[in-house]
Amino acid sequence: MEKEKIDKKDHILDVAEKVFSELGFDGASTRMISGEAGVNMAMLNYYFGSKEGLFIAVFERKITSFQDILQNIGNDESMSSWDKMDAYIEIYGNKVVSNNCFQKLLYQEMGMNRRTDISDKLRSILMINVGEVKKILLEGIAKGEFKKDIDVEMAIATIYGTKNFIINTPLMSTPMLGYDIQDEKVMDEQLKPRIKAYMKNLLKAYILN
């Protein structure tokens, strides 16, 4: 049945996402993934063509939801530039914290220099979001709403970097913040509001007049 087939593929992608994010692309073997998913090893190639195809499929499943997060915000004429930044941080904070497993995998792979076809694909997608944030910041500067001497690119690096540090380096962020980053409930109830509030205050202090 078509429905069950999709469910099975989805289940494989769930497992693959988890195993990849824990061990990286090379560290995760097809035997391990198929074993943990409870399917025959050949099924991975049958469904996804290759290990790399499976890897890409993991990303493509999530990609769509990331692409049009900002579309609406950026083009809203009625919002002030700061309200747009505020709205972006809000959405970004929600999306990112609840997809931390995937986020880790994403930026882990972006750090590698090989497989430029995959990395390039991921980069071009992420750069769309970067472009949207940049547009908001530049608009705010042009309207005189933001300071005119802010380092736009660095500010963007701070937004993504602060989040990445917390998500990708739990060995440091967990003892730093005082609660377990891996714990989903803690993430949602404590980290999410905290990182949102902090990010808004930090940016407010740096970019607002």
Which of these, 7, 60, 15, 48, lies nearest to 34 by C-alpha position? 15
Shortest CB 56 distance to DNA, Å:
11
Task: Tell me: does residue 165 bind a second copy (CB under 8 A).
Answer: yes
Residues 130-149 that bind a second copy (CB under 8 A): 130
Q: What dihedral angle (degrees, nearest 10) is formed by the CA atoms of 117, 119, 122, 124?
A: -80
Compute CA distances 84 → 6, 79, 92, 97, 209, whole Å. Answer: 37, 6, 12, 20, 16
Angle 71-64-20 (CA atoms, 0-180°, nearest 5)? 135
In 76-133, DSSP assigns E strands to none
Contact 14, 36 (CB under 8 A): no
Stretch that binds a second copy, among 46-54, 78-86, 87-95, 161-169 (CB under 8 A): 161-169
Which residue from 64, 77, 205, 209 is in contact with a second copy, where contact means CB under 8 A?
205
7 makes contact with DNA (CB under 7 A): no
Q: Nearer Cβ to a second copy, position 91 or 126?
A: 126
What is the four-CA torsion angle of 187, 174, 153, 207, rounded to 10 degrees?
70
Instruction: Name the segment binding DNA (CB under 7 A); options: 2-10, 77-85, 152-160, 187-195.
Output: 2-10
Among 52, 60, 76, 183, binds DNA (CB under 7 A): 52
Using CB under 8 A, pick the residue from 6, 7, 10, 27 that binds a second copy: 27
Q: Does 113 bind DNA (CB under 7 A)?
A: no
Q: Which is nearer to DNA, 39 or 106 (CB)?
A: 39
